[in-house]
Amino acid sequence: TLEKEENEELTLKDVFITVKTCAKYHQSRIRVLVKTWFTLAREQIYFFSDADDDDLTRSTGGHLINTGCRKMHTRSDLSCKMGAEYDMFMTTEKKWWCHFDDDNYVNVPRLVEFLGHYDWREDVYIGKKSITRPIRSMYKGNFVDVTFATGGAGVCVSSALARKMEPWCLAGKLAETADDLRLPDDCTLGFVIINKLGGNLTTSPLFHSHLEGLNNVKMASLRKQVSLSFSTKNVININHGNSKNQVFNATIDPTRFLSLHCFLFETAEFCK
């Protein structure tokens, strides 16, 4: 019955997770993801890149997609990948689409629990803003002010909303829209959802990009976070002094994701 369906709890299989990457980061970024949080949801996570990689294809069980998008870091090349992520989600029957960058760590059980508080049948767009003010741009000759969730902290979209985005996003349209808008892919999602569809952004402090001081995320609250991130000089603080679990040094574990994974999931094979 409908009533029963409404009360049904969201589970891992309801969520589709896409990660944007590129050939030059397969070694330095994707390997550590495959070793850590990918193991939490091997069926749900796909990597979207711009090259083939036999090793990664093997280690991900075929979950590396070569999008065929060009390797430049231009706006349309990057939004080409986001478009491929969106397109693949639309071929699934999943209730939620979540995008992450390849410098994110995702606590997948937390993500599922978090999404369970929202209704996938409604228009839901969740993430973290990187800037407080909207960004002004031009779209087809008109000024537009765009509010968006930064791709670098992770973004989730309900399937009801994703369906409505088709005219601006499906089958190459996302890159076209980004070009028309003259803004990156994550801004383009915000533009489509808020400016075109009249939706709004739900912000959550549990999503983190490396644009914020990751050192400020307290050890005690690490377990609560949905996503974390790293950049060369900006990493989460996890060390011997405050963890009983396996902690690796910064040479072995520059992203801190191995140590974080062992803190959160101590029974993981490499943590023993």
Catalytic residues: 186
Separation between Cα atoms, residue 182 and residue 200, nearest integer Å: 21
Report helix, strand or coil for 14.
helix
Minimum distance from CB of 142 to ligand UDP (Å)? 27
- Sequence-distant (6+) residues with CB within 8 A of 222 are 228, 236, 238, 260, 263, 264
Taking CB under 5 A as the rule, does residue 102 contact Mn ion? no
Q: What is the DSSP string of 151-219?
A: GGG-EEEEHHHHHHTHHHHTTTHHHHHHHHHTS-HHHHHHIIIIIIT---EEE-TT---TTS-GGGS-G
User: Which of Mn ion, ligand UDP, none sits in contact with 25, Cβ below 5 to 8 A by type?
Assistant: ligand UDP
Label residues 138-149 b or e (16+ Cβ within 10 Å = b).
Answer: ebeeeebebbbb
Q: Determine if 83 is a binding residue for ligand UDP (CB under 6 A).
A: no
Give how far the C-alpha of residue 18 lies from the chain's centroid of Cα atoms, to the nearest Å: 6
Residue 118 partner contact from Mn ion, ligand UDP, none using kind-dependent CB cut-offs of 5 to 8 Å: none
Q: Are 126 and 102 in contact (CB under 8 A)?
A: no
The yes or no reply on residue 228 touching ligand UDP (CB under 6 A) is no
Q: Which of 14, 53, 103, 186 binds Mn ion (CB under 5 A)?
A: 103
Residue number with CB closer to ligand UDP (41 or 153): 153
Judged by beta carbon distances under 5 to 8 A according to partner kind, the member of Mn ion, ligand UDP, none in contact with residue 78 is: ligand UDP
**What is the nearest approach in angstroms of Mn ion to the Cβ of residue 121?**
32
Contact with ligand UDP (CB under 6 A) among 53, 102, 212, 253: 102
Stretch that binds ligand UDP, among 18-26, 111-119, 123-131, 245-253 (CB under 6 A): 18-26
Is 21 among the residues that bind ligand UDP (CB under 6 A)?
yes
Residues 145-164 contacting Mn ion, CB under 5 A? 152
Measured at the alpha carbon of residue 60, what is the angle toward residues 259 and 92, in degrees to the nearest 5?
A: 115
Interface pick for ligand UDP out of 81, 128, 129, 173 (rule CB under 6 A):
81
137: alpha, beta or left? (left if phi > 0; alpha if psi -120 to 50): beta
Site for ligand UDP (CB under 6 A): which residue of 20, 94, 95, 129? 20
Binding site for ligand UDP (CB under 6 A): 20-22, 25, 73, 78, 81, 101-103, 152
Binding site for Mn ion (CB under 5 A): 103, 152
